[in-house]
Amino acid sequence: MIINTRKKQTMKTKAIFIIAITFITIKSYAQTRVVKVNDTIRQFTAYQSTKINEGEKVPLLLNFHGSGMTALEHMMYTKTNHLAEQNGFVVVYPQGVHNEWNVGFGQDYDHGTQDVEFIRVLIAKLIKNYPIDSTRIYAAGLSRGGFFVQRLVAELPNKLKGFVSVGAPMPTEVRQRMVGNTTIKAMYVHGTADKIVSAEGKKEAYLSVKECIAYWKERNKIQAISQTKKVDQVEDGTAVNIIDYGEVVQLEIENGGHTWPGADPFNVGFPLGKTTQDLDLNTLLYQFLFQSIN
C-alpha cells in the first residue's frame, strides 16, 4: 500500500499528538516512582484523587497486575483510577520483577524475589508521602496478582483490612502459613470457564474457590446462610452469581473466563475467555471493601 508524503506526515503528527496527550494524562494524574528495597530498586505507579480535601486521610487500594502484564497495563485495563477519582482515595499499582509475583509456585517461596518486603517498604513510604489512612488499606489483584494479595494477607496481617482476588484462589503454600484470627474482608471472583486458573484448584499449587470461601467463613466466624443474587443484564453469554456471606463474598461468573468483570474484552492473542459485562467489578469492589455490599 502506498501512502503519499503529506498523508503520511499527517498520520505521524496525529500519532505523536495522541501519544503526547496520553503521556500528559498519565503524568498529571498517575505518577510512576521507585523505592529502594534491600539494594534493589522497585517501581510503582500511584494515582491520587483530585477530590481529596486538605488534611483529609483517605483509603489506599493496592492493585496488582497478573503474570506477563505491567503495572501500567493493569492500570489501564482495570480502570481503577476512575474509581479512585470518583470516590476520593489513592490507588497504587506495584510492579513485579519480570512482571511476576512470588506466590509459592513457579519460584522459591522464601528465596525468590522479595516481593512481600517490597510491599512492606512501599506501604510505609506511601503513608509518609500520601494522605493515607493507615487503618484503611485494601488490596486487589488479577491472576498472579490475586495469588500474591493473599500472601500479603498472610505475612502482613495487620496491614490489610480486605482483599478482592480475581481468577486466583489461595496458594497452597500461603494456606500453610496463614495465621491469625483477625477479621478480613475476602472476595473471590472466578469464571466457570476459566481455562488458565481452575476454580476447582490445582494440586500442590492452589486451593479451590470453595475451599477458600470455607476458610474465610470459619476465620471470620460467619454463621449466616448466604444470600444469592443472579445478575444477567447483558446478552453476552455470561451471568453473575453473587454469593454473599457479608464479609466474605464469591462472584461466580457463569461462562466467564480469566478476566476482570466489566473491563474491555480485548483478549487479543490470549485465550482468556469471556469478559462479563453484567456488572462493573470496580463498583462492587468499592462497595465491598470501602463500604458494605448490598
Asked if 143 contacts 67 with a C-beta cutoff of 8 angstroms, the reply is yes
Q: Using CA atoms, how far apart are residues 18 and 5, in angstroms rounded to an integer?
A: 20
Q: Is the pLDDT of residue 271 over 90?
A: no
3 state DSSP class of 7? helix
Q: Give the model confidence (pLDDT) of 37-90 as tens digits.
A: 998 999 999 999 999 999 999 999 999 999 999 999 999 999 999 999 999 999
Give the model's pLDDT for residue 121. Answer: 98
Give the model's pLDDT for residue 106. Answer: 85
Helices assigned H by DSSP within the chain: 5-29, 71-78, 80-87, 115-129, 144-155, 172-177, 209-219, 281-290
Q: Is the pLDDT of residue 11 over 60?
A: no
Least confident interval from 102-106, 160-164, 167-171: 102-106
**Which residues are paired to 254 by β-bridges?**
239
Percent of the chain whose pLDDT exceeds 90: 80
SS3 content of the chain, % helix, strand, coil (to 5): 35, 25, 40
H or E, element range at 187: strand 185-191
Q: Is the pLDDT of residue 258 over 70?
A: yes
Give the model's pLDDT for residue 225. Answer: 85
Q: What mean pLDDT is predicted for residues 4-15?
A: 39
Complete DSSP assignment for 86-155: HHT-EEEEE--GGG----SSSS-TTTS--HHHHHHHHHHHHHHHS-EEEEEEEEEEETHHHHHHHHHHHH
- Specify the higher pLDDT residue, 21 or 84: 84
Mean pLDDT for the chain?
89
Give the model's pLDDT for residue 270. Answer: 65
Residue 18 pLDDT class (50, 70, 90 cuts): very low
Q: Using CA atoms, how far apart are residues 74 and 1, in angstroms rounded to an integer?
A: 35
Give the model's pLDDT for residue 267. Answer: 55
Distances in Å between the Cα of 72 and the Cα atoms of 47, 124, 157, 275 are 11, 22, 27, 20
Burial class of residue 225 in the structure, from the number of CB atoms within 10 Å of its CB (0-12 exposed, 13-18 middle, 19+ buried): exposed
Give the domains, in start order, of the chain with CATH numbers.
57-290 (3.40.50.1820)
Q: What mean pLDDT is predicted for residues 146-150?
A: 98
Q: Is the pLDDT of residue 257 over 60?
A: yes
Give the model's pLDDT for residue 23. Answer: 38
Which residue in 217, 206, 86 sits closest to 146, CA to CA? 206
Give the model's pLDDT for residue 291. Answer: 87
Q: Cell 486451593 belongs to which residue?
A: 207
Residue 16 pLDDT class (50, 70, 90 cuts): very low
Q: Is the pLDDT of residue 21 over 60?
A: no
Give the model's pLDDT for residue 191. Answer: 98
Cβ neighbors of 287 (< 8 A, separation 6 or more) are 293, 294
Q: Using CA atoms, how far apart are residues 65 and 51, in angstroms rounded to an integer?
A: 26
Cell numbers representing residue 22 in the block: 496520553
pTM for the structure as a whole: 0.88
Distances in Å between the Cα of 18 and the Cα atoms of 22, 48, 174 are 6, 23, 43
Q: Is the pLDDT of residue 6 over 50?
A: no
How many angstroms separate the most distant Cα atoms in the chain? Answer: 72
Q: Cell 498523508 belongs to which residue?
A: 7
Side-chain-side CA neighbours of 29 within 13 Å: the count stands at 20
